Chain A
Amino acid sequence: MAAAELAPSPPSGTAIARAPREGTTSWPLVDRIGYWLCWTVGIGLCLVALAIVLFMLVKGISYLRIGLLVHSPAPSQIQSQSGGFLDPIEGTLIVALIGTVIAVPVGVAIATWLSEYRRPAGLARAVESAIEITAGAPSVVLALFGLLIFAQGFLGFLSQRAATGAVYGRSFFAAGVVMAGLALPLIVSSTREGLAQLPNHLREASYALGRTRATTIRRVLLPAIRPDISTGTVLGIGRIIGDTAIIRILLGLTLTTQPVGQVPVLGLLRGTGSTLTSYIYENSPAGEGLSPQKAYAAAFVLLAIVLALNGLVTWTTNRGPRWTR
């Protein structure tokens, strides 16, 4: 351990200057206890993290079959006949797509306005705190609000209408829109962070060439912070695909995708279905179906997606036009 600590400064280039090594023998007892507690907790954390990752890996690999990925769920008590999770994978993609398509333009626009215009100042502060509140709001609460909105009569074309005229309020569209609210704060904050880090001479150079603010934003600032926007987007997608509460409340409880009517895309958006998270919940002992093995397999697929998104974040944060740095 001591040898490892004496190693030359870490290659990652962290700013920490390692203090010259001193033995702990000269320290008071309390300090030494703290020091060993630190090591214990650190190693414990390593072990727990390792255990979770390995456990999911082993379970996933041992239960995942190609068949599960290409078959729809079927209502059956028997494991071999209850199908796979093709529909939930599609559902996850659809919801993530709707959420991103709405949240990214809105989020970037709001962040730009907050960072570059900010007039009137009172409105800007109000918008800031409102977004802060959304960021902290539990997703069940967002889901309840969404249900209230989409069950209004005039929005009936976005979900299904019962024979009595009552609007169901649950559909892919409803879930996607509320998911956009979940992703919005992440996109706003990472875009603002990017804009704040841009050196002012970029803006000044553009103004000096006679460009207006709008042109500067479109041609200079937004291209420069593209990595930050994509980081925010990927974080937002991660939040969306990981959420279960909104899906359970706003997408109905059918495991298969069930479009409404004959129109191809609109029918799908109005229909109900499931995502990987709701599939896992349904198949765990907490839900109806008792097929934990399929839940493990679906969890493994979901984790693989999360891992890929994580890799994407690392990749995007290190890119961007060279003239900005």
Chain B
Amino acid sequence: MGRTRSWATAKTDQRVERALGALAAAVLVAIAAMLATVLIKAWPSFSHNGLRWFGPGGDVDTQLRAMAESKPLPGRSIYYFRAWPLIWGTLLTTVAAVLIALVISMLAAVFLTEFAPPAVRRVLDPVIRLLAGVPSVIYGLIGILVIAPYIDKHLISDSRRASVGYVVQLNGNNVTTAILILTLMILPIMVAISASALTSVPASWREGSLALGVNRWRTIWRVSLRTARPAIAAATVLATARALGEAVMLAMVAGGRGFAPNLLDGFTALFEPVRPLAATILQNSEGLTIPVLAHTMYAVAAVLLVSAAMLSFGGWYAKQRFQRYGVGA
């Protein structure tokens, strides 16, 4: 009797294992299907444009409008698309925001864990966690209603407006506003992860450094921050992924125009509008029933998806390299 029961339960155990494995495999298939379908749907756009898809050439907004109206541009294929302004906008906003946030978050994390009075720390810890959870549309709302009007009114002079007026209209929704809000948005999560890594640096390592007569700042710089490198890498990857995929906030404050800010314009370039890749998908979401436009949007999505995947691989690699003497996230 007892024998049959244990045999039966062992069988149940096996069945549970199979069921869970099957579920995991099903999710794997769903995710693989996502990658595959996005790439397949994107293919017509890539195959009609070749590698020039990524290059500059003409006004990307005109090209998208031509697709939406199904009227090809004179002498061009209906699929004609040159994404450089969108890619450039994504690169500008993402790289600038992540670099600024990286510097600020390291200093802030050091402040939080080393210098801040305990009372300040007790208040700031939950506030940072709250800010990390604030939906991006709220950051966008603050950006479009507070920051953009301020920049429009006080930072852009009329002569600056006139100097590029024949190419593009300058207003408060521009690349600077986008970078500013994006930095603000990714900062909390970077500070939170870095600070938690700094607190888990073994005290003996720091004490060893202090005992050798190294001052506190250098100890932080040479021992604590180095030990926290895997976590800082993880935080950077997470923040970059968030910045890359951010659509809503950037659609609200970045200017919504497929324009590539020309760095030769000097400071004026800071006030030129952009529209990153993710925001482009969002702003063309109503035209997805038009096949050509849909293929183009899936191509944009494929670029985002592949970059995000490469990013997480890069993060994994960086973590592996730093892991030897490090504390993870």
Most chain B beta-carbon neighbours within 10 Å: one of A37, A140, A142: A140
A residues 98-134 in Cβ contact with B at 8 Å: 106, 109-110, 112-114, 117, 119, 123-124, 126-127, 130-134
Min CB distance A114 to B, Å, is 7
Identify B282's interface contact among A5, A119, A124, A140, CB under 8 A. Answer: A140
B118 adjacent to A10 (CB under 8 Å): yes
Q: Give, as a whole number of angstroms, the nearest-CB distance from A160 to chain B.
A: 13
**Contacting B144 at CB < 8 Å: which of A35, A106, A132, A284?**
A284
Question: Contact at B247–A280, with CB atoms within 8 Å?
Answer: no
A243 and B23 CA atoms in complex are apart in Å by: 26
- Determine the chain B residues whose CB is within 8 A of the CB of A14 once the complex forms: 199
Q: Contacts A133-B312, A303-B134 given: A212-B13 contact, CB under 8 Å?
A: yes
Q: Are B16 and A130 in contact (CB under 8 A)?
A: no
Complex CA distance for A166 and B290, rounded to whole angstroms: 13
Query: With A130-B31, A137-B308 given, is the CB distance from A7 to B23 under 8 Å?
Result: no
Docked CA distance A14–B201 (Å): 11
Nearest chain A CB to B227 CB, angstrom units = 13
Question: Is A41 touching B218 in the complex (CB atoms < 8 A)?
Answer: no
| A27, A145, A280 pick with most chain B CB within 10 angstroms | A145
Q: Which of B58-66, B74-82, B107-115 interfaces with chain A?
A: B107-115
B141 touches A280 (CB 8 A): yes
Which residues of the other chain, B, contact A135 by a CB distance below 8 angstroms? 312
Distance, CA A26 to CA B218, complexed state (A) = 13
Q: A41-B107, A127-B28 are in contact. Are A22 and B216 (CB under 8 A)?
A: yes
Given contacts A42-B116, A145-B38, contact A136 B200 (CB under 8 A): no
A55-B142, A212-B10 given; A138·B20 CB < 8 A:
no
Residues of B within 8 A of A242 (CB): 133-137
With known contacts A280-B137, A295-B141, A303-B134, A31–B111 Cβ distance under 8 A: no
Query: B252: CB under 8 A from chain A?
Result: yes
Instruction: Decide: A213 near B13, CB < 8 A? Known: A19-B216, A119-B21.
Output: yes
B13 CB, nearest partner CB in chain A, Å: 4
Q: How far is the CA of A34 from the CA of B115 in the complex (A)?
A: 12
Residues of chain B from 14 to 54 with CB closer than 8 A to chain A in the complex: 16-17, 20-21, 23-25, 27-28, 31-32, 34-35, 37-38, 41
> For the complex, is B292 an interface residue (Cβ under 8 Å from A)?
no
Contact B23 A109 (CB under 8 A): yes
Q: Does any Cβ of A come within 8 Å of B88's Cβ?
A: no
Question: Complex formed: what's the CA distance from A48 to B184 in Å?
Answer: 9
CB of A310 within 8 Å of the partner chain: yes
Check if B107 sits within 8 Å of A136, measured CB to CB: no
A274 to chain B, nearest CB (A): 12
Whether A147 pairs with B135 at a CB distance below 8 angstroms is no
Q: Is A306 an interface residue when CB atoms closer than 8 A count as contact?
A: yes
Chain A contact residues (Cβ within 8 angstroms of B): what range? 35 or more
Asked if A215 CB lies within 8 Å of chain B CBs, one says yes
> A34's contact among B118, B119, B221, by CB below 8 Å, is which?
B221
For residue B162, CB closer than 8 A to chain A, the reply is no
Partner of A141, one of B122, B245, B251: B245
| B130 near A306: Cβ-Cβ < 8 Å | yes
Cβ of A245 and Cβ of B107 under 8 Å apart? Answer: no
Interface of B is mostly: helix
Give B116-140 interface residues, CB cut-off 8 Å to A.
Answer: 116-122, 124, 126-131, 133-138, 140
A-B CB pair tally, cutoff 8 Å: 274
Does A307 lie within 8 Å of B130, measured CB to CB? yes
Contact of A244 among B129, B136, B184, B288 (CB under 8 A): B136
Q: How far is the CB of B129 from chain A (nearest CB, A)?
A: 6
**Interface pair A141/B304, CB less than 8 Å apart:** yes
Assess whether A4 is in contact with B31, with CB atoms less than 8 Å apart. no
Q: List A residues 266-325 near B (Cβ within 8 Å).
A: 277, 280-281, 284-286, 292, 295-296, 299, 302-303, 306-307, 309-310, 314
A264 interface residue per 8 A CB criterion: no
Docked Cα-Cα span, A144 to B131, in Å, equals 28
Interface status of A265 (Cβ within 8 A of chain B): no
Residue on B nearest A242 in the bound complex, by CB: B135
Please report which residues of chain A, range 190-223, place their CB below 8 angstroms from some CB of chain B when the two chains form the complex.
210, 212-215, 217
A53 touches B130 (CB 8 A): yes
Please, which residue of chain B has its CB at the minimum distance from the CB of A168?
Answer: B289
Asked if A39 is an interface residue, CB under 8 A from chain B, the answer is yes
Stretch at the interface among B153-161, B203-211, B259-267, B317-325: B203-211
Given A136-B308, A284-B144, output 7 extra A-B contacts at Cβ < 8 Å: A27-B215, A35-B115, A39-B111, A117-B17, A119-B21, A245-B282, A310-B126
Q: Which residues of A contact B (CB under 8 A)?
A: 1, 4-5, 7, 10-12, 14-17, 19, 22, 24, 26-27, 31-32, 34-35, 37-39, 41-42, 45-46, 48-50, 52-53, 55-56, 106, 109-110, 112-114, 117, 119, 123-124, 126-127, 130-142, 144-145, 147-148, 166, 184, 210, 212-215, 217, 238, 241-245, 248-249, 253, 277, 280-281, 284-286, 292, 295-296, 299, 302-303, 306-307, 309-310, 314
- The 5 A-B residue pairs whose C-beta atoms are closest, nearest first, are A138-B245, A42-B111, A242-B135, A4-B117, A113-B20
Binding site for A on B (CB under 8 A): 6, 9-10, 12-13, 16-17, 20-21, 23-25, 27-28, 31-32, 34-35, 37-38, 41, 104, 107-108, 110-122, 124, 126-131, 133-138, 140-142, 144-146, 184, 187, 191, 199-200, 203, 206-207, 210, 215-219, 221, 241, 244-248, 251-252, 256, 278, 281-282, 285-286, 288-289, 297-298, 301, 304-305, 308-309, 311-312
Q: Can you give 12 A-B contacts (C-beta < 8 A)?
A: A19-B210, A27-B217, A32-B217, A45-B104, A49-B131, A106-B23, A130-B28, A133-B31, A137-B34, A141-B301, A277-B135, A281-B248
